[in-house]
Amino acid sequence: MEERATASVRVDGAPAEATLGGGELRWRRAAGGGSGAAGERALSLEREVFGVQARGNVVVVRAFVVAAGAGGKAAGRRRRRDFVLEMAGGEGAAAAWAERMTRCLDSFGRPKRLFVFVNPFGGKKCAKKIYDAEIKPLFEAAGVSITVQETEYPGHAREVASSLDLAKYDGIVCVSGDGVLVEVVNGILQRTDWKEAIKMPIGVVPAGTGNGMAKSLLHAASETCSVSNAVFAIIRGHKQSLDVCTILQGEKKFFSVLLMTWGLVADIDIESERYRWMGSARIDFYAVVRIMNLRKYCGSIQFVPAPGYEEYGEPIKQFENCMVEFLEQNGKSHPSSYPGPSVEFQALDWRFVDGPFVAVWINNVPWAAEDIMAAPEAKFSDGYMDAVILKDCPKADLLALLMKMGDGSYIKSPFVTYLKVRAFKLSPGQLVENPKRGGIVDVDGEVIARGEGTYGKSQHQDVMAYGPHIQLTVHQALATVYCPKRIR
């Protein structure tokens, strides 16, 4: 460890004594000197500083600090601030201090080269503007080399990630909602070198409609969900392992990092697209429409409960080992890409529940969107999915539930079943009141299966068929994401 260094400086025109050491920059200003008031200030190089530069006889310390006196809604909000230290020792002293601080910052293992996806079509279509105004200046100030790729069509990020020369980069960043992150994970897992490729850290900057992953990561660190906080988390380089769910139907395969939903929530999310001109209000508006005209779907679910959740549902007496089927099919269709988790469950592990259902919601992280805490007990890498099951609920109570989704307290309702599962199978059926019409299966904001008569059915070719069972299995801690701090 380097010894502490001290120097006479001027900060904001006021004389001060500065100390550098122990991963901290500290200075004390004397009373009555220049424009500055007496007092002491300390900056943690690891937690607050993202760049240092020597300019002649001054050292510019680029920091990202919590706003003074922040409370209430402003709690956790940070702002960019440059501290300028004029060194009494001249240019040599400034260069030495800048070099020493830079050496300390480099020791934290922060990323130096990033590949950045910018989705100009997501959310309010402001991602490019956000990147130019807020994201690029922060990366440049931190000395990070950036390669930018704007996505041009659905699936573009997946294609690029599947063939990107990852040796050139320390991480991948998604400036988007959750869709580009999902594409990147799917692209990486279809590579022949997926075992090494999936170790590449992925950062998420909220610039879309939902932003569930960014919200989950920042909230877990008690940080406000904002563009600048997300970028600073990436600059600092802390990493968090993340479970990945393999979704399988026959030989068709898809990977999820956020959620799968069927019934009420999927209908609201997808069918409200026709009201996109309303902005974010479309979700609330269409939620009321759907509750007033509530649908119930026939179907069934099967699952392997986590320890402590074995009492829900009924045991399956006759069971076909779908895990063996899962591994055999993946080995045949994609022999060199990620085959899915290597796990097998016995017949006695599985339980089932038959419909009709109002909603089925499977979550991998706590927040489904910035204002919806769908799974308050979800963890990033516990090896479980958090299932929310709603079989019946009076309309008035259902409206009350929606009002409680902002803090996750809705799961306390007697109409809501909440449990953790290791594996899950959904067999989606038809509307109770209209057997000729099916529902929508939504994964991470994208439709993977639609029944007859549903919104968008005639315009889209979906990844999977509606009706045959769709299976989810967790691979614990498969992927890695950038986070604000080390989260347990």
- 78: nearest Cα among 92, 93, 68: 68
Burial class (CB in 10 A: 0-12, 13-18, 19+), 275: middle
d(CA 208, CA 210) in angstroms, rounded, equals: 6
- Most distant CA atoms of the chain, gap in Å: 84
Phi then psi for 365, rounded to 5 degrees?
Answer: -135, 165
Which residues touch 223 (CB under 8 Å, ≥6 apart)?
76, 78, 229, 233, 484
Burial class (CB in 10 A: 0-12, 13-18, 19+), 394: exposed
178, 243, 269, 386: the catalytic one is: 178
d(CA 68, CA 467) in angstroms, rounded, equals: 55
Residue 114 parent element (H or E) = strand 113-118
Please check whether residue 127 is in contact with residue 120, taking contact to mean a CB–CB distance below 8 angstroms. Answer: yes
Name the token pair of 89: 């020792």
d(CA 479, CA 488) in angstroms, rounded, equals: 16
- Helix, strand or coil for residue 145? strand
Q: Which residue has the tokens 């969900």?
A: 225
- Helix, strand or coil for residue 356? coil
178 a catalytic residue: yes
How many CB atoms lie under 10 A from the CB of residue 110?
Answer: 19
Q: Dihedral, CA atoms, 278, 282, 286, 288, nearest 10 degrees?
A: -100
Which residue numbers are catalytic? 178
